[in-house]
Amino acid sequence: MRTSPYRPLYQHNWQQIRGAVSLAGTSFERVTLRVQQMHLRIADVTFRNLAMAPVVNVGAAAFRPLHHGVTNGIYRIVRGVGGVAFKALDLALAGMARSQNPPLAAKAIPAPVVSAVNGAFGDYLLRNRNPLALRMGFYQHGKPLAMRTAALQAHHTQLSSKLVVFVHGLCCDESAWEMFRKPPLEDNKPYGEQLQALGYTPFYLRYNTGIKINLNGRMLSHMLGKLCRAYPQPIEQIVLIGHSMGGLVSRSAIEHGMQHKAEWTRHLSHLFCLGSPHLGAPLEKAVHIGTAVLGAFSVTQPLAAMIDDRSIGIQNLRHGHTRHPQHDASLPTRPPHSHFHFIGSSMGRGRAGLISQLVGDGLVRLDSATPGDVADDITEIAQANHLQLLNHPQVFAAIASKLGLAPASAPAVTQDSASSATQHV
């Protein structure tokens, strides 16, 4: 029976290690194949040049098949030996996993490492049912949270009618929201803790960032539906806060929910996108152009193919894809009562600065993070990088202000997309 990607699945330590070995074996095979291809194509350049030279062209033509045969044989031996070694290691690990008293205690691979691998190769892991492939779910203290009423009551001692859901970005997991925590400073507590103190119940999503954004959006919509059905009390409000890719996944979930008239969309009041590349990420655009250039030359085509092995989730960031294939243009993509707030940052001192225009927050340009034609309002944070948006006093001040919790006191710039009036918050 195939495991559903909608259901959180905690893999045992031995399964994780076997999954890592399987991925390492596949990577070894692919890399050696690409190196072999590049080796042969570089050699072909040399043989073509020799073919134009008198006298030596006869010897070169005779030597070329011998060279290619020996080269191919060596690489086949390397791959064969490597394949046998990885297979033997996998069999040994399988035996340890089945043993009641394994000679070694398997340690779990750190969750951030698994999430990073999923970001890079998540679509491959899911297609091949590799145990490292993450299944989407809400996590609490590093463990999956079952979507059952009793489980929700056990994990949250103080449930409220207001829910806030945090959606992390590429190659991350829910622990990313703990970054830059400085316990002595109140304004550096994670957003979830601060909002919980103000009457919200936080939920943290973990998901495979290497698969298609719209697929993650569809799954998130289903997960939010499950959460609403299992929640022990009536829900008054749902707030989504997504960082980077998480903002795009949240937008996609809202669109899917509206298309299918999902009950949870009736409770959605606010969406906050922090540094999300709504118009595409420049780094992925540059990589796409680079692979196209490499693919235009015979010698570098294997290198281009190697780079193209990156996940479809990363490739989706080139245009900021959120739409679903069966999208009905006649249906709304967001609830009329919800509010979209986009927060972007720049490493420079303002939108007009050269640094802000070129690199934005280091990964996402400011105009991509804050398109005014999609958001109800935009907030710009100066001199902050992409990761600092995960825990920044100015960002929380903007969130709290838009939720009507407290007047914003940190110096950021907010612009109402409808009126285009700029004000300090």
Reading the block at residue 295, the tokens are 């693919």
175 closest CA partner among 205, 148, 133: 205
Note the pTM of the prediction, 2 decimals. 0.88
Reported as a single tens digit per residue, the pLDDT across 239-268 is 999 999 999 999 999 999 999 999 999 999
Mean pLDDT of 36-64: 81
Q: Tell me which of 313 and 92 has the higher pLDDT.
A: 313
CB 34 within 8 A of CB 307: no
For the chain, which residues make up each domain, given as ranges? 13-109, 137-284+312-424
Give the contacts of 105 (CB within 8 A, at least 6 positions apart): none
- Look at residue 8 and tell me whether its pLDDT is greater than 60: no
Express each pLDDT in 349-388 by its tens digit.
766 666 666 678 889 999 999 998 889 999 999 889 999 9
| Tens-place pLDDT, residues 140-161 | 888 899 999 998 988 877 899 9
Q: Which CATH number fits domain 137-284+312-424: 3.40.50.1820, 3.20.20.10, 3.40.50.720, 3.20.20.140?
A: 3.40.50.1820
What is the model's pLDDT at position 81?
A: 93
Least confidently predicted of 2-6, 34-38, 154-158: 2-6
Percent of the chain with pLDDT strictly greater than 70: 87
Mean pLDDT of 378-400: 94
pLDDT computed for residue 422 by the predictor: 37
Return the structure tokens found at 325.
């294939």
pLDDT in tens, 18-33: 889 999 999 999 899 9
Closest alpha carbon to 115 in 210, 46, 37, 197 = 210
Of 207-221, 259-273, 285-299, least confident by mean pLDDT is: 285-299
Mean pLDDT check: name the lowest of 86-100, 348-362, 373-387, 402-416.
402-416
Residue 183 has pLDDT above 80, yes or no: no
pLDDT tens digits along 310-337: 999 999 999 887 877 777 777 788 999 9
- Give the integer Cα–Cα distance in Å for 284 and 321: 13
For the chain, the average pLDDT equals 86
Closest CA to 214 of 308, 319, 299, 142: 319
- Taking only the tens place, the pLDDT of each residue in 100-134 is 666 555 677 889 999 999 999 999 999 999 989 99
